[in-house]
Structures are given as C-alpha cells and as structure tokens.
Amino acid sequence: MIDNTPNFRMISSGVVSWTTSISSSGDIGLSRGAAGKLYVGNSAGGDFTGTLIAGNVGIGETAPGSKLSVSGGGSFGAGYDTTAAPSNGLIIEGNVGIGTTSPQYRLTIRESLSGTAAVKISSSSGAPLLLDADNTGSTFGMIQLFRSGVLKSYIGFDAIGNVSILNSGASPLISLADSGNVGIGTTSPQTKLEVTNTSSGATADQLYLTNLASATSTASRLTFRAQDISGATGTSTAAITSILTQNWTTGKGDLAFSTLRSGSLTEAMRIDSSGKVGIGLTTPTALLQIKGATSVSQDALALQASTANGDFISLSFLDTNGTTQRGAVKSIQGADVIQLFGGTTEVIDARSTGVFIGAGDPLNKLDVNGGVAIGTYAGVNTAPSNGLIVSGNVGIGTTTPGTKLEIVNNSSGSTIDQLYLTNFQGATSTASRLSFRAADISGVGTTTGALTSILTQNWTTGKGDLAFSTLRSGSLTEAMRITDAGNVGIGTATPASKLSIVDSISSGANVQITANEPTLQLNSSASDGKTWEIISGKNQQASTGEFVILDKSNSAQVVRIQSGAGANGAPLTIASSGSVGIGTTSPNNLLTLFKSTTPALGFTTGSGDSAWTMGIDTADQNKFKIASSTSLGVNSRLTIDGNGNVGIGTTG
C-alpha cells in the first residue's frame, strides 16, 4: 500500500530486485492474501541464506546506530499486536532469554563467564528501583535462586505479605514485616530482630557472633546502643562479651556483662569457664561471689518483695533433688524481721527489737530457747537444758572482768541490789542457795560450801534466815545461821542470843581469836557506857603469853594471868566445885597454890617499899615461912618445919 492506496502488490511468482525502492511520504504496508504467503529475500518455498540487510535497520529512525534501532515503543507476540507499547518501551508476550537460547521463564539471564555479574540494576537521581511481584490471587511472585541448576531459595513475598527469603520448599527463612521488624525463623517478628528455632527437645545455636582474630584473649561482643535526649549519636549503654581465655582445644571462655558507667562501659558481672559468677569482680572463687560496693549506702545484695504483707521473701538452699530444703534465709513482707532456717526448722529470728534463737518472737534484745555454750565450750560441751556455760570470764557492768563472774555497779552513795537469787516455789520454807563448788583430785566437781537464804514466814511479815553450810563427811552441813532477829548461831539453827555456840566435839576450842594483839571488847549499851576488854598476847597492857582483863577505863588490870606457870602449865584453874588452883589444874582446896620451887604468896605495898611473903621454902626442907621480904629465905619472921616446930625470928 502506498499512501493507504493499494497501488503495488507482489504476487507469488513475481520478483522484486534489490535495487528497486519503494518510498512514500505516508505509510508503507506489506500484506498477503487470505491464503497466500509473503516472502522476503528469496522465492517462495526457499530459505534465504545470504545477508538480507548488511547495515543497520531503523524503525522510526533514519540513522540507526545498531543492527536494529527502534524509535518509539515495540511489542512482541500475537496477543500484544494491537496493544500500544509504552513510549520508547517494549512489551513481550513470550519468554525472554539473555545469554540463553532456551529461556524457561519470562526473563532468563545466564552469564557463562565465571566471576562476571549476570545482572546489574541501578538508578540515578534518587529514583526508586521497583520490583513488583503482586497479582490478584493468593500467590505472589518470587525471585528464584538456583545453584548448579538446582533450586535453592526464593526471594519475594510470603503468604502474609512479608518480604521474605524462603527455602526451596517455599518456607520463610528471613521475613521483613511491614513494621520494619526482621524475623529469622518466624513470619511475625515482634521486635526489630526476632530469631526463632523449632528444634524440639534440643538446644540449637540461633546466632553466632565471631571474632576471627588469633589470640587467647579474643572476644566477641554484643553491644546495646541508645540515643540520648539531645538526639546525638547513639551511645553504647551495655554489652555482653564472650572472652576466649584459653585456646579452643582446651575449651575455656568467660562471659562478661558490662554497663555504661561514668561515660564508659564497665564490667559489672562475669561468668567464668567453670560456671562461677562474679558480681563486682572478674575472678570469682565461688559459684556466686559478690564484691560489696565502695559506699556504705549501697547494698551488695537486695531481695525485694512484690506481694502483700505477711508473705515471705526467701533465699533457700536445696538438696541435689532440687526440692528438699536444707536451709533458708527468709524475711516477711511488711515486717522488720529476718529468719534463719536449718532445714525447715526456724533457728534464728532477728528483728529490730531483738534476736530470738530458736522458734519464737523476741521480747528482748536476745532471747534463747535452749542451752547456750560460749567460748571453748561451744561445739564441744553440751549446755544444760535452757542453761548457759561460759569458758571465759563474765562481766556484768564491766568490760574487763577479772574473775569468772564480776558484777560492777556505779550507784554512788547508795546500796543497791546487784544480784538476785530467787526461788519461786510457793512455801514459807522456800530457800535460795548460792553454792560453791570445787573439783577433787579425781576431777569431779563437788559442792564444798553454800550460802542459803530461807524464808521463815510469808514475805508480808518479812522474816528470813541466812544459813552458812560447809562440806562435812561428804554432804553439806549447816555450820552457822543468822536469824531474822539478828542472832548468830554456830552449831545451832536456833540461837537464843546474839551469839550462840553449840559444839558436839569433845576437844578443841569453841571460840578462837588469833591476832598480833588479840582483844575481846565487851561494851554496854547503857548510858554509863561500861566497857570491859579481855586481852591476850603482846599489847600495851599484856606481855607475850599473858591474859589480861581490864576495867571500863581500859587501863586498870582486873585480872592478869601468865601462861607456862606450874608443872601442869595452868596459871589459873577454877574447878566446877568452886576451888581455885593457881599453878595447878586440880585444886584440892578453895585456893590451891602450886609451884615446883618455893611456892609462896606475896604481899607488896603500892609504893613497893614494903613486902611480905608466905609459903613453902623448898630450899630449906620445905618449911613454911613468913618473911618480911619478897623472898622466903630473907628476913624470915615465922618458920614451921615438918615436925610442927615453930620458930619466931629464927629458921632453925
């Protein structure tokens, strides 16, 4: 057709030479009849084997720069013959192969050179790169990835519209949700990155952080970052670091946890290769070791309750079975209390008001239910039931006790009780006893003495005795008593006087006073104030070995007796018959004088200028003499011999 008018037609037997040209200012069309064919380059029925067009062909282009240059849109395929292609675009109904003669898909690109990219897609001026795999059905388009002709994975949309990388079975491996969250192993990630594994009954690695540096101290770190309030560059706020402490062949590594402190990451906790956990230190020596804070206001460990008052906050120690409690430390929510358990039994209850050892609530600073051993006795000796044993000294009111028990009071100018011994048995004969014990040679403790307070009448009438007992013949025997009346009984529990002495022993003294100047003073409570003293020993009034009785003036000697006189060594004896013996213990008369040499009776004036002596002169045949001198042998005035002869003025 020339100018839309069928002016030229080639029939099946016609020949058009190559030098013939057909030109027109309008369109030129080549068409065939309904049953005919159109051949270009050869006669009908034959193949053209030469070069049909040696140069470039331009469609809509007068100066084609390529073998085929098309200015405008183009379409391929019977289904697209009436469809207008986009401006300067191309629409193809069938498969397109680039680098392959047998494309199996709408676009098949194959690069035969190793290491050369098969496809490069780029855009400029910020224009987006669009891959549209949408359709109107439930199946979305995919990009398939092959290796060595085997399908390995897909890139595209999963069933819920996430951009995903799928395995060869079309199961999602990595999903990018519309929210921007990335899921590995899940199609519904709830955070920016969520990694999920479905290995049932096993622990599987879900994430590797690897540092390929060659060193025993190599570390891999997972760092957490945040942007501060100013919107500045993100700051590392925390990190988890895995540290290789020995070569992997020996298999040792630590895990360190760090936090942002004073502008830099500082390690706060470490789990070492043996499973020990250190908080505040990097080399723990126990399964859990906490290094205290440098400030006294900071706790090394705190347990906080989250339930209602009355519930326990507990730190339990369990047996290997994980259920049997071997011990626990518990606190009660809403109460200032710490309880320590041995097994399931409460051992210590500590409160702000006090401590209770045993099961109970403290009423004092320290309450103990049971026996207590202190010092070297602890863990060795068993304390008496609800009793106390102490190996060292005990001080009450003093920090430096000098004895096993020392009680000190600082009440100035008054007498107060410092020790109570109480017997709560209800009876008028109730007694409280202070016993003194000592170990005998066999090491067995024995009570050697006691001080007993005895209630003799009800406390309303207020009468009580004080008894002193000593060990006698293997048992405690009362030796002395002070009654409520103030009477003292020695050897008797019922003294009738201020001092009553009862002795069942046939020998020995009942009363003995031993001193350098022993003195017994008797004072009268009457208004005349009479005083008598009995003195023995060396005194201003008594020489050594003498016994003197002074009158109330304490100067005049009423009686003076010297020891050692007479054969029997008795200066003065008063017999039960009333007889008095001087120098003898067996007087035969009302007055008997005895001396081994010249027993005599002397009389001397106060001035000492006159003296008379009468007695037996053992130096002169035992004659009885009266002499006007201090000696019988001088100035004899009367002499009587054994024959009855009497001499006056003569001794013959």
Q: What pLDDT digit, counting tens, does each position of 291-331 carry?
A: 876 666 677 778 877 766 667 788 888 898 988 999 999 88
Residue 108's closest CA among 124, 127, 92, 122? 92
228-244 pLDDT per residue, tens: 777 666 788 899 998 88
Task: Kindly tell me if the per-residue pLDDT of 69 is higher than 70.
Answer: yes
In whole angstroms, give the CA distance from residue 272 to residue 331. 31
State the pLDDT at residue 40.
Answer: 55
pLDDT band at 45 (very low <50, low <70, confident <90, very high): low
256-268 pLDDT per residue, tens: 999 998 889 999 9
State the pLDDT at residue 113.
Answer: 80
In whole angstroms, give the CA distance from residue 469 to residue 481. 9
State the pLDDT at residue 355.
Answer: 93
State the pLDDT at residue 10.
Answer: 46
- Top-confidence residue, 365 or 439: 365
96-126 pLDDT per residue, tens: 999 899 998 888 888 878 777 777 777 766 6
> What contacts 642, CB < 8 A, 6 or more positions away?
621, 622, 623
Range of weakest confidence among 154-168, 335-349, 567-581: 567-581
Average pLDDT over residues 634-651: 84
State the pLDDT at residue 568.
Answer: 47
State the pLDDT at residue 636.
Answer: 87
> What contacts 62, CB < 8 A, 6 or more positions away?
none
Identify which of 19-33, 367-381, 492-506, 595-609 has the greatest average pLDDT.
367-381
Residue type, 141: G
Residue 599's closest CA among 579, 614, 586, 588? 614
164-218 pLDDT per residue, tens: 888 888 888 899 998 999 988 888 899 988 888 877 777 777 788 888 877 767 7
Residue type, 377: Y
pLDDT band at 11 (very low <50, low <70, confident <90, very high): very low
Q: What is the mean pLDDT of the chain?
A: 80
State the pLDDT at residue 168.
Answer: 86
Return the percentage of the chain with pLDDT > 90, whole number: 20
Task: Kindly tell me if the per-residue pLDDT of 612 is higher than 60.
Answer: yes
Q: How far is CA 567 from the centre of its chain?
A: 87
Task: Kindly tell me if the per-residue pLDDT of 384 is higher than 90.
Answer: yes
> What contacts 27, CB < 8 A, 6 or more positions away?
1, 3, 4
3-state secondary structure of 644: coil
Distances from the Cα of 81 to the Cαs of 36, 74, 85, 461, 481, in angstroms? Answer: 20, 10, 10, 140, 145
Task: Kindly tell me if the per-residue pLDDT of 511 is higher than 90.
Answer: no
Average pLDDT over residues 412-431: 77
In whole angstroms, give the CA distance from residue 575 to residue 3. 195
Return the percentage of the chain with pLDDT > 70, whole number: 77
State the pLDDT at residue 8.
Answer: 44
Range of weakest confidence among 388-402, 484-498, 637-651: 637-651
Work out the number of other CB atoms within 10 angstroms of the CB of residue 174: 19
- Top-confidence residue, 419 or 50: 419
In whole angstroms, give the CA distance from residue 185 to residue 167. 11
Residue type, 454: I
Residue 68's closest CA among 78, 76, 60? 60
Task: Kindly tell me if the per-residue pLDDT of 61 is higher than 90.
Answer: no
